[in-house]
């Protein structure tokens, strides 16, 4: 004696539904990537403008970065002499003028050095942002490719589902008017005679 009905087999998930869910997941990845690309492009535009401005300032400023060490040493020697040696008022004023002139040259050289250094940092930022944008665009391309594959498979499945009933409709044409052959008429007559005899007996 059987102990009840067999356990129900778990139903196979609908592949088309799985594909739709996967498509939704992939589609949700695109807006954050696009937003990120826009932000990075905005930053890149700012950095390119900054690079242009820094380059112009560096070109205008006197490029004497190689003299920074020499100018600092001269300034320090003058400051030491002014602080430790006795001078006439005129001689001391002359030394202070020289020190101020050296300080001005030193400041120009330092400004040029800082601008060149800043230009280097800005260039690195630009390269980083370009790389970041390229990586994000590749991610968008990968998502697009994945979506194309999913949509293609979904169209294929939907096409198969639509085509399944068609062969049945082709195999079972619409009923035509009954065509009776001579053999059919003879068979019908025979059956009528037999039934008439049996009724009369």
Residue-wise pLDDT tens digits, 16-28? 888 899 999 999 9
Look at residue 192 and tell me if it is in a domain.
no
Q: What is the value of pTM for the model shown?
A: 0.57
What 8-state DSSP symbol labels residue 6? P
Range of the domain at 130: 15-172
Domain count, the chain: 1
Q: Which residues of the chain have pLDDT under 70?
A: 1-13, 60-66, 160-201
Give Rg (Cα) of the chain: 47
What CATH number has the domain bearing residue 108?
1.10.287.1700
Look at residue 190 and tell me if it is in a domain.
no
Look at residue 181 and tell me if it is in a domain.
no
Look at residue 119 and tell me if it is in a domain.
yes
CB count within 10 Å of CB 129 equals 20
Residues, the chain: 201
Residue-wise pLDDT tens digits, 145-190? 999 999 999 888 887 665 555 444 444 455 454 455 555 555 655 6
Look at residue 200 and tell me if it is in a domain.
no
151 Cβ contact partners less than 8 Å away, ≥ 6 residues apart: 23
Look at residue 165 and tell me if it is in a domain.
yes
166-to-16, 160, 170, 171 alpha-carbon distances in Å: 20, 10, 6, 9
């Amino acid at each position: 004696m059987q102990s009840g009905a067999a356990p129900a087999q778990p139903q196979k998930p609908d592949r088309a539904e799985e594909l739709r869910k996967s498509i939704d997941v992939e589609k949700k990845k695109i807006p954050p990537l696009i937003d990120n690309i826009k932000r990075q492009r905005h930053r890149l535009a700012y950095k390119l403008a900054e690079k242009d401005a820094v380059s112009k300032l560096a070109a205008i400023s006197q490029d004497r970065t190689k003299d920074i060490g020499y100018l600092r040493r001269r300034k320090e020697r003058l400051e030491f002499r002014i602080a430790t040696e006795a001078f006439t008022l005129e001689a001391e004023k002359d030394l202070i003028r020289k020190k101020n002139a050296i300080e001005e040259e030193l400041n120009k050289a330092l400004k040029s050095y800082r601008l060149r250094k800043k230009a280097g940092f800005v260039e690195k930022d630009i390269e980083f942002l370009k790389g970041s944008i390229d990586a994000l665009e590749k991610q968008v391309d990968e998502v697009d490719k994945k979506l194309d594959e999913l949509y293609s498979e979904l169209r294929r499945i939907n096409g198969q589902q639509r085509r399944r009933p068609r062969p049945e409709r082709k195999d079972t044409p619409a009923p035509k008017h009954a065509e009776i052959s001579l053999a059919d008429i003879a068979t019908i007559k025979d059956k009528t005679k037999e039934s008439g005899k049996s009724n009369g007996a």
